[in-house]
A and B are shown apart, each in its own frame.
Chain A
Amino acid sequence: MSAAIVPGDTTETLAARAVQVTKVYGQGQTEVRALDNVSVEFPSGRFTAIMGPSGSGKSTLMHCLAGLDRITSGQIFIGDVELSKLSEKQLTLLRRDKVGFVFQAFNLLPTLTAAENVELPLAIAGRKPDRAWVDRVIDAVGLRERLAHKPAELSGGQQQRVAAARALASKPAIVFADEPTGNLDSAAGAELLGFMRRSVDEYGQTIVMVTHDPNSAAFSDHVLFLADGRIVDEMANPTAEKVLDLMKKLGG
């Protein structure tokens, strides 16, 4: 093992990467090139934000990376695993074990309590949760008092925090969040983003987040800018002002 030369050995390990990924929706007249030859790497322990105008392909990129959608050409890796080689079933298991999700809305099963929702991926896998870890996550999102509540009894922000806790509870290799603060006011949004930031800093979690909001993007380590299915720019250590400036520049 030690003799083998593993790609990426020399640099930091990669949680996920896309290699010349193209995604085309429809055919002929209605053809839409949602992703156009995108190559990108997501190193472990990094919080990446994806920005871009509406329809630029942010969600598409995220769905493809997460194995929710099949790409037209190119390659996607989660860890060392190439997704196009996987069967539907293997993809599902990979999502279950390696990937965490936070969607913009409707993240929780209404019939389950907050606690049950947090442990959902573990329950699906039939795995025993790591109690200490789950407790830490729950405390981190400040949901201890709300554990027995059903989603309908939680505020939107609380629901999103439950979703975030769920995304972390199974210790996934990578967490994808598509506009997780889209439905929250700025205070609730900041709380959620703060938690995501901490999980990267303290536990080395890898997060990829789609957002429209420069303030949200400022929580990340690295921002990718998408336009017309292509990565048009990127920025390390973003601040809200820098992002806003770049967006103005790109938009103009």
Chain B
Amino acid sequence: MRKATLKGLMAHKLRLAATALAIVLGVSFVSGTYVLTDTITASFDSLFKQVTQGIDVAVRSEETFGGFETGEVRDPMPASLLERIQAVDGVRVAEGSVTGYAQLVGKDGKAVTTGGAPSLGVSFNQDTQFTAGSTVRSGRLPSGPTEMAIDAKTAEDTGYVVGDRAKVLFQGPARDYTVSGIIGFGEADNLGGARLVGFDLATAQEVMNREGRFDEIDVAAEGGVTPEQLRDRIRAAVDPRYEVLTGEELAEDSAAAINDTIGRFLGTALLAFAFVALLVGAFLIFNTFTIIVAQRTRELALLRCLGASRRQVMNSVLLESVIVALVASLVGLGLGVLIASGLKALLSTFLGADIPATGIQFQPRTVIVSLAVGLIVTVLAAVMPARKATRVPPVAALQPETAFAPTGFRKRRIVLGVLITTVGVALLLAGLFRSEGNRLVNVASGAVVVFLGVAVLSPLIARPLARVIGWPFARAFRLPGNLARENAMRNPRRTASTAAALMIGLALVSFVSIFAASIKASTTEILEESVTADYILFNDNFQPFSPEAAERLAEQPQLAAVAGMRFGPWKLDGVGKSLAGIDPVTYQQVVRTEVTDGSFDDLASGGLAVKDTVAESSGWTVGENVAMEFPRTGVEQVPVKAIYEDNSLNGDFLLGLTTYERAYADQADSQILVKAAPGVAPADSRAAIDQVMTDFPNVTVRDQAEFREEQARQIDQIINLFYSLLGLAILIALFGIVNTLGLSIFERIRELGLLRAVGATRRQLRSMIRWEAVIIAVLGAVLGLAVGVFFGWTIVRALASQGITEFTVPAGQLVSFVLAAAIAGILAAVLPGRRAAKIDVLRAITTE
């Protein structure tokens, strides 16, 4: 029996090749993701070990406002703490250092940006043990108020060399410095993409608003004292609100922060795409094995006649799938390494993240998971066809093969399909509209179940749908079109499951495009409805900038209102929230807000304004005090001054500027909204702004139209990344079409021969195959569009409270997806068509 299986396998090796390819691609994505994230993780681990190598113990204040919502906020430590630590027994030397915002201005006068990593100003330690982590590539470390050092990557990007003078931006006034040195970190040119400007301690403290305070205190131990001993001693000597870590712990903690982001977001996102690819692959595998079993009906029946048991037949098919899965998974595993390096390059270009170089990390977990995933998906997908194989009765060997696939179980299929789809929709809606449980998992599994449900139902509609879709082809291309349409209709299950694979990819693509279009439309809506400002000023890296910018703009006569917005984290009963600090007088001139109770004007003397839904659910009314916990001042009772309707711009909380200034250490604007004075030409008001902003090159100036375009462009960028990753799923689905057509041609060889014998040209056969592929592809696209529009609608509706108020269907784009699917169908038909055209007419009509 095993021998028969292996022989069969060899006989179908071509037919199985496309199947294997689907598994190869899916598995390679899984292994590629692991290799990539492992490699990045390892890189950062070693990078931070390098940077902290001279530090035995580090002290910093506890994270007051940690977590994803608000970002990392730590209060600086007083200088007195340093003296206390220096006095601890076993401390050879202890130094304080500071880290804050500093951004270099390039030779072109523009602020040097990053791909999302921070622009940091740091101080350099004095002791050589501490500075061992950084490597001076040229020049020397800065000393005195006029010198700075920059990282090697920034030097390379900007062209600055030792001795050059350059401007640096801070939250306070900008200043000029001379480059005294260029530093690296061992092999690495920078710290994970961050731009670094380094000063001596006193200078750094001054420019970053840290006079007499430190962000971190580094300690070196005396000989014979281990870092752990020293850590415990210091811990005992200082207030428990300070964190005391060994250098190693600090490195791990720093790396973990980045790696967590990479692992959680990048890893999860990539694995999600791998999952989609595998799901599509599963359809392909299911389809291939179903067809192979159908084609082997006689062979299997003969085996049964000769005494093979049902179990043996089932095992024979499953064994075939296991072998295919193993081979394909191994190839996929290898390919994953290539994909990892490809993705790494993609990441660098798309996100500008410089990933430090280390050797490719290939862990046992990668091998195990990849092989397991490949095996499980394949075998699961092959189980149903294998079971079908066992139902082949021995007499089938003696009966002529029927041209038509059986179409039984209609009722069962309808009930099952509707049931599965309903469960999927319920899961999806639960994930979207209920706050309990893991919502992302609910939404994702809901989507998968919906796909399965639609796939179960699709054979029921495949025939009529193929009839409709095929109609224009039958009209336009006569016989080939007509035959293509008939062929697409003759086996609705096969057509449907081939199309279903494409449906998944297209559903996701069209969902993403609907989602993006809705976000864009909502942005436009918000801008038109709520924003009366003519200009919007912001920093590309979401870095707050000096309030001086707003102050100087306010002096310009061409401008009527200049409103700076400052953002800040706070806590309500220990739960992290965020707010915007505003000056109500100017803010009301640039943003339209419907106040339902109280008055914005009252915010002038401080206090809080709250969105109506939030006020309602918290039971707050105007005049009531809210216990707000701020990073600097702790819990404060802040009175509610106004309650407003949502306008998607104010957010949930607005804090009067006077209160904000008291509650937060850093005073910097994140955004400035500007309204031109009445009667001033746009060119004049723009000129006035640009004139002031030459001193603030890290701030981008946009008028409303530009802002809208830019937002759209940014969305498009992300969307394109999605498209390219989803392209993989679509590619696999196309292999599915190639495969199905190839197998069908094998099945219909006599028909093709007959057609050729009675005078059909090769070109006509090719075009017949082509239009069949196109009909299947368009069928999949149409199904996918339907599902995608449904997904888009529910998810956009669910996010209405997040500011996505408009549901927009980009009809033109969706139509172009269908056209693209049709073109893809044409491409998918090239090989099968060639094969069909090449058949030996005589052999086709004479072989039994």
- Chain A residues with CB under 8 Å of chain B are 59, 63, 66, 68-69, 88-89, 92-93, 95-97, 99-101, 103, 106-112, 120-121, 123-126, 151-152, 166
**Chain A neighbourhood of B700, CB < 8 A:** none
Residue among B478, B486, B487 making CB contact with A126, cutoff 8 Å: B478
- Evaluate contact between B479 and A109: CB separation under 8 angstroms: no
B702 to nearest A CB, angstroms? 60
A41 to nearest B CB, angstroms? 23
B340 at the interface (CB under 8 A from A): no
- Evaluate contact between A121 and B759: CB separation under 8 angstroms: yes
- Evaluate contact between B759 and A63: CB separation under 8 angstroms: no
Contact with A along B733-776 (1 / 0, CB 8 A): 00000000000000000110011111111101000000000000
**Complex Cα–Cα for A166 and B846 (A):** 19
- Contacts between the two chains (Cβ within 8 Å), count: 74
Q: What 8 A-B pairs are tightest by C-beta distance, nearest first?
A: A96-B759, A111-B486, A110-B403, A123-B479, A95-B759, A124-B760, A121-B758, A92-B761
- Evaluate contact between B842 and A111: CB separation under 8 angstroms: no
Residue among B751, B757, B845, B846 making CB contact with A110, cutoff 8 Å: B751
Smallest CB gap from B750: residue in A:
A106
- Evaluate contact between A111 and B490: CB separation under 8 angstroms: yes
**Chain B neighbourhood of A121, CB < 8 A:** 758-759
Contact with A along B812-848 (1 / 0, CB 8 A): 0000000000000000000000000000011001100
**Complex Cα–Cα for A100 and B758 (A):** 7
B759 to nearest A CB, angstroms? 2
**Complex Cα–Cα for A116 and B111 (A):** 74
- Evaluate contact between B751 and A109: CB separation under 8 angstroms: yes
Assuming A63-B842, A106-B750, A110-B751, is B759 touching A152 (CB within 8 A)?
no
Contact with A along B87-103 (1 / 0, CB 8 A): 00000000000000000
**Complex Cα–Cα for A151 and B750 (A):** 14
Interface residues in B129-150 by Cβ distance below 8 A to A read none
**Chain A neighbourhood of B762, CB < 8 A:** 88-89, 92
B169 at the interface (CB under 8 A from A): no
- Evaluate contact between B760 and A106: CB separation under 8 angstroms: no
Starting from the known contacts A93-B759, A111-B483, A124-B759, 20 additional A-B residue pairs (CB-CB under 8 Å) come to: A66-B757, A68-B841, A68-B842, A89-B761, A96-B758, A96-B759, A96-B760, A97-B759, A101-B757, A103-B845, A106-B845, A109-B754, A110-B490, A111-B486, A111-B490, A123-B478, A123-B482, A124-B764, A152-B402, A166-B758
Smallest CB gap from B761: residue in A:
A92
B404 at the interface (CB under 8 A from A): yes
Interface residues in B383-428 by Cβ distance below 8 A to A read 402-404
**Chain B neighbourhood of A92, CB < 8 A:** 756, 759-762
- Evaluate contact between B404 and A110: CB separation under 8 angstroms: yes
- Evaluate contact between B751 and A69: CB separation under 8 angstroms: no
- Evaluate contact between B402 and A59: CB separation under 8 angstroms: no
21 example contacts (A-B, Cβ-Cβ < 8 A) are as follows A68-B841, A92-B762, A95-B757, A95-B758, A96-B758, A96-B759, A96-B760, A97-B759, A99-B759, A101-B758, A109-B754, A111-B486, A111-B489, A112-B486, A120-B479, A120-B755, A124-B755, A124-B760, A126-B479, A151-B403, A152-B403
**Chain A neighbourhood of B846, CB < 8 A:** 59
**Complex Cα–Cα for A93 and B402 (A):** 31
Smallest CB gap from A92: residue in B:
B761
**Chain A neighbourhood of B754, CB < 8 A:** 103, 106-109
**Chain B neighbourhood of A68, CB < 8 A:** 757, 841-842, 845
**Chain B neighbourhood of A66, CB < 8 A:** 757
- Chain B residues with CB under 8 Å of chain A are 402-404, 478-479, 482-483, 486-487, 489-490, 750-751, 754-762, 764, 841-842, 845-846
Assuming A109-B751, A110-B751, A111-B483, is B842 touching A120 (CB within 8 A)?
no
**Chain B neighbourhood of A99, CB < 8 A:** 759
Smallest CB gap from A110: residue in B:
B403
B475 to nearest A CB, angstroms? 13
B19 to nearest A CB, angstroms? 26
Most chain A CB within 10 A, of B479, B755, B759, is at B759
**Complex Cα–Cα for A95 and B760 (A):** 9
Smallest CB gap from B486: residue in A:
A111
Smallest CB gap from B760: residue in A:
A124
Residue among B404, B479, B750 making CB contact with A124, cutoff 8 Å: B479
Assuming A68-B757, A69-B842, A92-B761, is B404 touching A152 (CB within 8 A)?
yes
**Chain A neighbourhood of B759, CB < 8 A:** 92-93, 95-97, 99, 121, 124-125
- Evaluate contact between B755 and A109: CB separation under 8 angstroms: yes
**Complex Cα–Cα for A106 and B486 (A):** 18
**Complex Cα–Cα for A107 and B402 (A):** 15
**Complex Cα–Cα for A97 and B478 (A):** 18
Smallest CB gap from B753: residue in A:
A106
**Complex Cα–Cα for A232 and B403 (A):** 41
Most chain B CB within 10 A, of A92, A93, A95, A152, is at A92
Smallest CB gap from B848: residue in A:
A105
**Complex Cα–Cα for A91 and B404 (A):** 32
Residue among B487, B841, B845 making CB contact with A111, cutoff 8 Å: B487
**Complex Cα–Cα for A69 and B403 (A):** 27
**Chain B neighbourhood of A96, CB < 8 A:** 758-760
**Chain A neighbourhood of B479, CB < 8 A:** 120, 123-124, 126
A207 to nearest B CB, angstroms? 16
- Evaluate contact between A93 and B755: CB separation under 8 angstroms: no
A182 to nearest B CB, angstroms? 12
**Chain A neighbourhood of B404, CB < 8 A:** 110, 152
**Chain B neighbourhood of A109, CB < 8 A:** 483, 751, 754-755
**Complex Cα–Cα for A123 and B757 (A):** 14
Smallest CB gap from A89: residue in B:
B761
**Chain B neighbourhood of A107, CB < 8 A:** 754
Smallest CB gap from A88: residue in B:
B762
